[in-house]
Copies of this chain bind each other. A is one copy, B any other.
Amino acid sequence: MLLKRILFLLTFSVFILGSTGSSMAATGTITLKDVGSFHVGGEVVTLSDLPVKEVQAIPGGPVRKSDPNGDYQAGQMYVQYMIQANPVSEYPLLMWHGGGLTGVTWETKPDGNPGWHSYFLRAGFSTYVSDAVERGRASWARYPEIVKSEPEHRTQNSGWGMFRIGPSDGYATDPTKRVAFPEQQFPSESFDQFWKQAVARWTTSNSEAIKAYGQLMDKVGPSILVAHSQGGSYGLTVCQNAPDKFKALVLLEPAGAPDPAKVDASKVKDVKYLVIWGDFFDKSKLWTTYRANVEKYLDAVKKAGGTVDIIDLPAMGIKGNTHMFMMDRNSDQIAAMAVDWLKKQNLAK
């Protein structure tokens, strides 16, 4: 295993050193032929026999009745697209966020610096950035009448450890008293700003999310997926369901994967996989477990003849990356590796 890792690193280092310097993509203009959005998936759900309320929506305006009985949309997701006038790839780049977050994940870093979305746009990719079912602009349906369970709102306290900024008990309300991992790369002084992006999530809606993502793939067609955490987990599953819709998956710390005993891994052998892992796994039992599940699946894909490349950042000497490495100080450096890899797969000019 160690030998395999060293051999991989040697090969990969040569590839990185030989790259054409995509980090240049951080500057330059973006010329689009189309900007817009759509919702995909979802269905009408009808409620009845609920009590009617009275509300005053505009201060000073009239009181009006609010009758909750009637038709709602539930289960749809939101997708914003930016189509390049001259794309570097014939395939669009889809960006799927992680749990408790939205597509904003890609748009900005909490220190105000540009995120991966801007990076990939400047690199010439057409993008589709989405909000998963029930999050952000996807909208969420009434509970408990439509969605049967309660949402989870994550605290900043839990996010600090969950996203491996620092130890689980390292968070304090007072920013000056927080304990981060030594030499970690997250702009931790902007952690409160980051948390403004956090949204409620339902832990019971995976099947609805997977269904809507499948409908997105039917609509958009063969694509390159860049997915983070829970989004990576969804990506691996949706790709198993419709491998012809994916050219490549660039997975940033996917949080889960199909059970290889329950799926046919050879179905996805023509899809190219790049998986990127950050630092501090030895500090998190939860992430060690998640990673092991993912590696088990990817090993099965490899054995079935698939292409799976892995970037283990700390093993390459790139230290201190958190679970949110698309927001870390060196996020451009990692984005450049992903772009170079896509070029190597002949998926970008």
Contact = CB atoms under 8 A, between A and B. Distances in A.
A44 B173 contact: yes
Interface in A232-268: 233, 255-256, 259
A182 interface: no
Contacts of A70: 155-158, 171
Interface stretch (A76-84, A87-95, A274-282, A327-335): A76-84
A306 B5 CA distance: 71
Given A32-B29, A137-B131, A152-B66, A73 B195 contact: yes
Nearest to A40: B196
Contact of A72 (B59, B121, B155): B155
A293 to B, nearest CB: 7
Given A108-B36, A157-B71, A173-B71, A58 B193 contact: no
A25 interface: no
Interface residues of A, number: 85
Contacts of A33: 29-30
Interface stretch (A197-205, A314-322, A339-347): A197-205
Contacts of A13: none
9 contacts: A29-B33, A35-B117, A38-B108, A53-B152, A67-B157, A70-B155, A73-B195, A78-B104, A140-B200
Interface of A: 29-39, 42, 44, 46-47, 53, 55-62, 64, 66-73, 76, 78, 80, 82, 85, 99, 102-104, 107-108, 112, 114-115, 117-118, 121, 131, 136-137, 139-142, 152-158, 171, 173, 192-193, 195-200, 203, 206, 230, 233, 255-256, 259, 286, 289-290, 293
